[in-house]
Chain A
Amino acid sequence: MNDDKRKKKEKKKADIARGLTIFVFLLPGLLLFVGILIAPIAVSIDRSLYDWNGFSPGTFIGFNNYVELFTNGSIKFMTSLKNALILAFFSVFVQLPLALLLALLLGRAETRLNRAYLSIFFMPVLISTVVIGQLWLKIYNPDYGVLNRFLDAVNLGQLKHIWVADPKTALGSILVPTIWQYVGYHMLLMYAGVKGVDIDLREAAMLDGATKWQVDRYVVIPIIKPIIRVSVIFAVTGSLKTYDLVRIITEGGPFQMTEVPSTILENMLFLRNRYGMGSTISVMLILLCFAFALLITAAFREKDE
């Protein structure tokens, strides 16, 4: 009896000690995570219901900010959303297929050349986006840029554009460097998957008379599907977060046609002192990111079945 009690007591003591250890181990992570991410988001959700300039207490206005986001003609939220979705579309349907193609091609044989290609294709990922923006700005320059002068040189002068200022090409001029930079990132993720495919499995399929393309299509791709799913989620949520290249290349112009949610958010804070509205945009961004993540997961699950 006594023994049992003592055992129970000891167990309780051990439980408390274990609980304490768990707590201590989780503490740094939780502090960072809750303090910088979760709590601010909770505050954002609350503040999105206020007319608030950042230092005053603010007035509660219900969902007025959300309404104004769509009705105020000087806050180009719908345009920004449309642009983010266009970016997401091209990321998923141009960038990722390209990345997949490269991963599959390079994954077929481990030659020196392929290794070199792999290294080269990953290079842009390591360059700061701001550098890339500046660089492309120079490439796009209407008078001295490489692009227009190349078009002149090959007698395609009629294709010349004022790339970043022409409403027709401005978004494209952001799109191209975005895709260019991150193809390597997704390629390497997928390459990891491709390399993970059992060699025997490939050879077996080939012996059965499958071409390389058929092997890729029916053996490799199904196996690396989880990685593709992650890539799709990253590409879409990444597009919703786009900021750097827009700030550097177009500043949201011409005529606010290339604004994205993040640039509008920044304008709200620093140009207009509208912190409440800024919070509203934050909340919309979170909702969109989660919605897309769930949607993509669901889409992949459906395909599996």
Chain B
Amino acid sequence: MESYVVKKSNPIINIIVGIFLGIWALINLFPIYFMFTFSLKSNAEIFGENIIGLPKEWLWSNFTQALGTGNMVLYFVNSLFVTTMSIAISLMAAMMACYAITRIKWKLSKLTNAFFMLGLTIPLQASIVPVYVVMSRLHWLNKYTTLIIPYSAFALSMAILICTGFMVEIPMALDEAARIDGCGLFGTFFKIILPLMKPAVSTVGIYSYLQCWNEFMFANVFISDSKHRTLPVGIKALSGAYTTDWGPIGAALVIATFPTLIVYIFLSRKIQASFIAGAVKG
């Protein structure tokens, strides 16, 4: 026991570790702080002496500009809608596929699973040319579904991987009991399995969210009208319009970022737990 304690505390290393963690935390927080402060400053302050301090004069008009001309609220709602729909669709499709793969015994189930797992390594860009051509021929550009469908497809593999992890943990005896009670395969899925998969929802949700919320290439290419723009594209457009006026750009960045961060701060434990669950189950 004594040797255990002695080895545990090496003060110098502990201090170094503490400093290292502290510095890394600063590096992580500084850009966020910097973004927040310059979103409230005038160019004079940003370019002048007050680069990193708190704004001397809190310029809320930057936000009015970002919200007004920048249309950031619309883009935020668009992003939210596209992301939510993509998560919902990929989740439902993944659960169903998972059920067929893990709970029903058939010859090709392993192969099917492997087939879906191909999607983990395929780059998003690989399919952009044909998808773009087909969509433009079908007059299917500039709609919400233009993004929702591809996003769901790209989130699918990860969702299946995670769902499988969760689903194998549900004892098969439950299925059998349900079968004896007269439930068919459909009934078992909807009545027994789905309710038990609730924990998977948040985990899949987080992974899919990270994928869809940030997606820029498809959004940039497939959406050209301002009504259906998502946040990343909207910010790019705004920064093109305000090249030299930093305040409104900063405000747009804050609008795009802070709601997520605030939700995260309140739910960080749960979000991390779900993320970790994905890593372990996957």
Contact = CB atoms under 8 A, between A and B. Distances in A.
A135 B276 contact: no
Chain B, interface SS category: helix
Interface string A136-171: 101100011010010000000000000000000000
B216 A37 contact: no
B100 interface: yes
A32 B28 contact: no
B130 A43 contact: yes
A265 interface: yes
B127 A36 contact: yes
A47 B134 CA distance: 13
Interface string B221-243: 10000000001110110010000
Nearest to B96: A25
Interface stretch (B55-63, B166-174, B194-202, B260-268): B260-268
Interface residues of B, number: 97
B218 to A, nearest CB: 10
B82 interface: no
B28 A54 contact: no
A283 B122 CA distance: 10
Interface in B1-60: 1, 3-4, 7-8, 17, 20-21, 24-25, 27-29, 31-32, 34-35, 38, 46-47, 51-52
Contacts of A26: 96-97, 100-101, 112
B144 interface: no
Q: Which of B104, B125, B128 has the most CB of A within 10 A?
A: B125
B210 A125 contact: yes
A265 B128 contact: yes
Interface string A166-207: 000000000000001000110011011101100000010011
B96 A29 contact: yes
B97 A28 contact: yes
A244 B232 contact: yes
B267 to A, nearest CB: 10
Contacts of A188: 272, 275-276, 279
A28 B154 contact: no
A126 B21 contact: no
A134 interface: yes
Q: Which of B128, B210, B279, B280 has the most CB of A within 10 A?
A: B279
Interface stretch (A3-11, A66-74, A116-124): A116-124
24 contacts: A21-B185, A25-B100, A32-B153, A37-B122, A37-B126, A38-B118, A39-B130, A41-B127, A44-B129, A127-B260, A128-B214, A139-B34, A143-B47, A184-B28, A185-B210, A188-B272, A206-B8, A211-B7, A212-B7, A227-B279, A266-B221, A279-B129, A285-B123, A289-B121
